[in-house]
Structure 1
Amino acid sequence: MAAVWQQVLALDAKYNAYRAPNNPQFRTLYIKRRSQLLRENAKTEHDPSVRREYMKMRAQLLTARYGSLPFSDQGSMRSRTVSLRSVSRNTAESMDSLNLGGNDGWLGKHHRRHLSSGSMKHIYDSIEVVPTSVAEASRAMAGGKTVSENYAFAGMHHIFDQHSASVSSVKFANDDKSRVACCSMDGSLSICQVIPPPATVICMLKGHTSGVMDFVWSLSNDVILSVSLDGTARLWAVAAGSCMRVINNPMECEIMSCVFQPLNNNMFVIGDIRCNVQVMNMSTGKPCKGGSSKITGRVLCLAFDPSGRILWSGDDKGFIHSFTFDVASGKLNKAKRITVCEGHAVTCISARSWISREARDPSLLVNCCVNSLCLFKIVSEDGALQLKRKFPIKQRLSTIRSAFCPLMSFRQGACVISGSEDMCVYFFDITKENKPCVNKLLGHSAPVLDVCFNCDESLLASCDAQGMVIIWKREGKQNML
């Protein structure tokens, strides 16, 4: 149980603005080292009562040293619970044998008790520490840099061209700076090492007999799930570079999208061209009872909220459907249908509980073939959405994807990135009303289909319709925390 260590880090981050007020570099280094120490301590078994006492004493000492916090949500510390990182440590041993014993897998009673909470605020507070509305501490810890300075990507770190057809998706491993994977319409996937140089292709994953439309890393990065137009989902052992299991689509048709259940990697969801959303049990390779639903069009994209309680699907008819998800059983309940733009395909969905201290709402980032990147606010517990902003990109025909920037707490502004049919990578600050585009990368010679940061934002990967993958590097010192 890593809950207390997450609370300690949150407490230290709140007080960090008062440490060495004239030395923001020291404060940044302090919180980085503090995070590393707490992560290491979380791996060791401790008496929970000792942890809670330590938390209480540390809060008293910090209050005595720096005074009471001026932040409004100091009392909400008691609602913090287990983070996704604590879950990921369990995935490795669960995946080794693929014998996880039913839909629950390794999801413990603690998680199920927690997931029964009712309010939207509690759902999002429970997964990540919600920031205060005061941004001065964030700006100080980021060294006072503007968003444009923070996202000054220009130089190319490496270019990969190992695929012979369009690269449909690219993703860095979770909490990993060095490994990136991509899937291609040539029917293969590749795993690459980009740090330290020279960048190399570690292995090619071959087995699909048609184009690979989508893939996702498991939380512990030991397994990759891929789906293909050949009608199969495949589980790949990353370390061995081999296929662990082939799972046929029970609907016997092409699969377009996939996603792991964030709190229980023993379940995953697939979407196909016959408008089916289907929850699958990884250990058995069979559909979960009550985990199937039909929507209005081909299921091009899927995304969970961080709590794993809400699932969204996007289709080629221009609709987003939300579902409530029972983590214990895998049962889906259809909730809302949201019209993005009828008749224009929704090609990507990403969910985030909050983006920065300036952008504190739970949000959904959506690509739709209307020459716009859309940002929605999540307004209810069943996944209802309200449009907040649109950002101009070129997208009419291609399956373009976008992403939230991974670092949220310690900086000014809030950034999202997207590919585009005009062969550019766009950076948008969602907090800016005027001229939100803060950077644009030129280098591809075909539509940019997907973009992804590594965990510390020192590198950015983008892929295009001609099979090229570019790894971009930040200008200047690579220290984004």
Structure 2
Amino acid sequence: MPDINMIPEHAERIRSYLLAHSPDAVVSRELWSCSAGTYSSFREVIRARKQQQLHLQAAAAGSPAGGGLLGAPGRLPRAAASPHSLPATVKYSFEGVKHVLAEAAGAVTAVSFAALRSDLLAFGCSDGEIWRVALPPAAAGPAAQPTCIKARKMHGRAVQAVDWAYDNSQLLSVGLDGSLCVWDATDPALPCIRSIYMPTTAFLCGRFHRVNFSLALVGTSGGTVEVYNCSNGILHSRYQVAQAGSGVQVTALDSSNHHVFLGDSAGTLHLFACEMQQRQLSRLRPTGRLRLPLPGHPPAPVTALQYLPFCRATDSPVLMVALQDGSLCIVRANETRHTAELHLRRFIPPPSAASAVVSPLVSQASSASSTSSLPPPSPTSPTSTSSSSAPSWLRLRPSVCPLSVIHDVPLITYGSDDTSVYIVDVTARSFSTGAGGGAGGGGGGRGSVAGAAAAVDRPLTVTVLKAHRAPVTAVAWSFDESLLASADAVGTLVLWQRCLLF
């Protein structure tokens, strides 16, 4: 038990010591798991403690406060500087490739790390396969290789989404053939414990409910969001988001503790409030919608949607929304008033094939039956993804760097058809609107949307990673940003090791 008579100076030294020698505690504070009060004030306290500790170390070494350990008057060494004082290009530098996995035969369509774990991830492929990857511990040495387990094939077509339960005990996957599978992630064999099949529609997105992972939320090609009870396989409820027969599809989905956010192929963001009864989800109530395409432009389908409980730039929850036309939107969410408003929009050059051919998965004129005849791409021809026969992985599916929204500004990671992985700062503006690549670079050519979006602000490229030999189809971050996973159209998964600066 701590001494109640401890003087404040001793308590401050103990806190400084614990923060300096426990990186896990620092990450937990940043993730709001054990913070008190506002995060801004807590962050300033930690920063002051670190600076005080540096001055104490300099005094103990016999160096003046302006030199010796500090290197230069008023400057801190790079390894001890505050994270906020370093540019994004330094903070998001990488040591290189940690692992390269070439187990899959088809294009990787979805990647997801386990909750609060950086040594476990899963991915799905265009041929319906599900893989689980367990990374070796750091003590195993550099020669240790990841353990890859392929689950029994349950999906007849491309896997559209994979999601982990909050305790990592179950894994959810949904496929284009209208199949939903729940896997026992604790079993080394990764068995399927629940399967649901709806042959009349295609499942385009899916996710566990954040509070109760016995419920799975699925967006369909029929313009509906369906809630399934994974315990018994029964349909809990179905909600028609778009008018029946309109051809509008629910293409992206995410949820918070109180709301479900949906994006459709008409470029509209829908908000549904979760009404609870005896701590169980009773029903979803529509509360609002937000049109995202630019005025005067055709509707752009929503391809990715990610909910962030806090963003330092807006001091509120936000939604990262990616559109097929190359737009990245940061939407400020007010869950108390059930409203959402567009905070900023940036344009990134879309993949050249995606700008020339609109994916049938998000096209208003297509249906699940028309896409069933599309053959998968040849794994030996990376350029085959530029044809109309391989539309499913041309959709822009970026991912937000998890800690960037807490530390500074939102940084977005996405893959392009030029085989590169880009990290961009969406709050910085780049005015390179010429015919070339430019500082806001991304994919290859801009196609027919370049002229229409010439006046739209583009984000600034922070880091470019090159290791793939085929178009990059999916990216995912671990919770502590120590690892970045990127996958391509020939089934290769690359794990990038981020530099440890602190």
TM-score by length of 2: 0.66
Where 2:89 maps in the other structure, the secondary structure is helix
Shift of 1:364: 0.7
Asked if 1 retains the 8 angstrom alpha-carbon contact of 2:108 and 2:489, the reply is yes
**Aligned-partner Cα distance in 1 for 2:326–2:427:** 20
Where 1:32 maps in the other structure, the secondary structure is helix
Gaps of 5+ in 1: 1-14, 39-82, 87-124
**Aligned-partner Cα distance in 2 for 1:212–1:457:** 25
1:29 to 17, 21, 25: 21
**Aligned-partner Cα distance in 2 for 1:298–1:417:** 25
Where 1:259 maps in the other structure, the secondary structure is strand
In percent, how many aligned pairs have the same letter?
Answer: 24
- Regions of 4+ moved over 4 Å: 18-21, 23-26, 33-36, 83-86, 133-144
Residue 275 of structure 2 corresponds to: 326
Aligned length in residues = 372
Q: Tell me whether 1:132 sits opposite 2:40 in the alignment.
A: yes
Residue 172 of structure 1 corresponds to: 113
Q: Tell me whether 1:336 sits opposite 2:332 in the alignment.
A: no
Question: What RMSD in Å do the two structures reach over aligned CA positions?
Answer: 3.4
Gaps of 5+ in 2: 1-7, 51-81, 359-393, 431-458
Asked if 2 retains the 8 angstrom alpha-carbon contact of 1:303 and 1:349, the reply is yes
Asked if 1 retains the 8 angstrom alpha-carbon contact of 2:304 and 2:322, the reply is yes
Q: Tell me whether 1:202 sits opposite 2:160 in the alignment.
A: no
Asked if 2 retains the 8 angstrom alpha-carbon contact of 1:139 and 1:410, the reply is no
**Aligned-partner Cα distance in 1 for 2:47–2:412:** 18
Residue 245 of structure 1 corresponds to: 194
Shift of 1:465: 2.2
Name whichever of 194-203 and 446-455 sits farther off: 194-203
Give per-residue Cα distances to partners, 1:114-151, cap 9 Å, x unaligned.
xxxxxxxxxxx9xx975227965576764543322221
Shift of 1:262: 0.6
2:177 to 207, 221, 230: 230
Shift of 1:353: 2.0
**Aligned-partner Cα distance in 2 for 1:138–1:388:** 30
Q: Tell me whether 1:345 sits opposite 2:301 in the alignment.
A: yes
AA in 2 matched with 1:338: L
Q: 1:252 to 1:472 in 2, by over 3 A?
A: same
Shift of 1:32: 3.4
TM-score by length of 1: 0.69
Residue 448 of structure 2 corresponds to: none
Residue 242 of structure 2 corresponds to: 295
**Aligned-partner Cα distance in 1 for 2:319–2:124:** 24
Q: How does 1:31-430 map to 2 (within 5 A)?
A: 32-33=24-25, 130-132=38-40, 136=44, 142-143=82-83, 144-153=85-94, 155-196=96-137, 197=142, 198-205=144-151, 206-240=153-187, 241-249=190-198, 252-289=200-237, 291-295=238-242, 297-305=248-256, 308-327=257-276, 328-341=280-293, 342-356=298-312, 358-379=313-334, 381-395=337-351, 396=354, 397=358, 398-407=394-403, 411-430=407-426
Where 2:281 maps in the other structure, the secondary structure is coil
Asked if 2 retains the 8 angstrom alpha-carbon contact of 1:152 and 1:474, the reply is yes
**Aligned-partner Cα distance in 2 for 1:173–1:272:** 25
Name whichever of 234-243 and 393-402 sits farther off: 393-402
Asked if 1 retains the 8 angstrom alpha-carbon contact of 2:405 and 2:411, the reply is no
Asked if 2 retains the 8 angstrom alpha-carbon contact of 1:257 and 1:271, the reply is yes
Asked if 2 retains the 8 angstrom alpha-carbon contact of 1:179 and 1:191, the reply is yes
**Aligned-partner Cα distance in 1 for 2:176–2:405:** 39
Asked if 2 retains the 8 angstrom alpha-carbon contact of 1:408 and 1:414, the reply is yes
**Aligned-partner Cα distance in 1 for 2:92–2:16:** 19
Name whichever of 367-376 and 385-394 sits farther off: 385-394
Asked if 2 retains the 8 angstrom alpha-carbon contact of 1:301 and 1:349, the reply is yes
Give the greater-gyration-radius structure (CA): 2
Shift of 1:443: 2.1
Shift of 1:478: 6.4
